[in-house]
Structure 1
Amino acid sequence: MRTHWDRVRHAIGFEGIALVLITLVLSYGFGFEMAHIGILGVVFSIIATLWNYAYNLLFDHAMLKYSGQLQKQTKHRVAHALGFELSLLWITLPIMAWWLDISLWTALIMDLGLVVFYLVYAYLYNLAYDHVFPLPETARTSP
């Protein structure tokens, strides 16, 4: 198992690198001002972190109420992931449209692009992180 500080390093690295990549792509690729995109990225990172905490708490309460347990089956995990992404999209979409002065449709396309980016990025980041910071030997051999 990873230590607390290893998890902190992982989270900060994940958010920091993603913020830099997104800022560069959206500013150079779409012509938005870098500082403008950077601020939006920081705000979205804070929103996602806070919503993640709240959403997981709400989801766990719903699991307990409707199933009497917290053990998630595949259907629960799929519902959890889709619910989180759709609700986060619902929260961030109007903010993105307003902040960038674009239509809701354009914001939706850009936001969906961010979802795809994060799916690929999360996979690659975690693969690289595990290579650069491998698990301690005891964690790899534990059942």
Structure 2
Amino acid sequence: MQSQNRTLAERIVHAVGFEVIAIAICAPLAAWVLDKPLFQMGALSILLSTVAMVWNLIYNAVFDKFFPVGQKRRMPLRVAHSVGFEGGFILIGLPIAAWVLDITLLQAFMVEIGFFLFFLPYSVMYNWAFDALCDRWFRCQAVSSK
């Protein structure tokens, strides 16, 4: 298991991978569900993704201070991590969604709840998989470098 905090490169790979997969799923799905043009939903997805990457880097750096990378991160902690991230991001994304979609804050809140219902399980699974793959990769690197 990795004993030090994640490097900036690992954080960037984590954030970019998370957002690229999310955009590929969310833009077409949201366009279909909301009956909005794919271009508009794609633009919103990319804008929110960019903001989310910055939030992701900040949030995970703080999270790692309280729960260092070397500690075992069981599913309840992963769920709490995701709820905290997504809850904070709803507050950040609400005015952005209202502006881009030209809707009220209440309507934007409903859109954000829809995104939350997708992103909560997605982020739990993504972070679990990222930790497992990262741990396996670094363990393999440590074995091969001996």
TM-score (norm. length: structure 2): 0.61
What is the CA distance between 1:41 and its match in structure 2? Answer: 0.9
Query: What is the aligned counterpart of 2:43 among 21, 39, 42?
Result: 39
- Please point out which of 14, 20, 23 is paired with 2:18: 14
Q: CA 1:52 to 1:11, structure 2 compared with 1: closer, same or farther past 3 Å?
A: closer
Query: CA offsets, 1:113-142, max 9 Å, x none?
Result: 211211111234456668988824836xx9
5 Å-filtered alignment, 1:81-92, equals 84-92=85-93
State how many pairs are aligned. 129
1:29 is the counterpart of 2:30: no
> Within 2, Cα distance between the matches of 1:127 and 1:81?
11
Question: 1:107 — aligned with what?
Answer: 108
Q: What SS does the corresponding residue of 1:88 show, helix, strand or coil? A: helix
Picking from 49, 54, 79, the partner of 1:50 is: 54
Q: Distance in 2 between matches of 1:107 and 1:19?
A: 18
Structure-2 residue corresponding to 1:96: 97
Letter in 2 for 1:123: V
Q: What per-residue deviation string (whole Å, max 9, x for no partner) do you get for residues 44-82 of structure 1?
A: 11112223444567x68xxxxxxxxx545x9xx95x766
Q: Which moved more, 1:115-124 or 1:23-32?
A: 115-124
**Offset at 1:108?**
0.6
- The TM-score, its normalising length taken from structure 1, stands at 0.62
Q: Choose 101-110 or 83-92, whichever is displaced more.
A: 83-92
Identity across the alignment (%): 33
CA displacement, residues 62-103 of structure 1 (integer Å, 9 cap, x when unaligned):
xxxxxxxx545x9xx95x766644442222112211211222
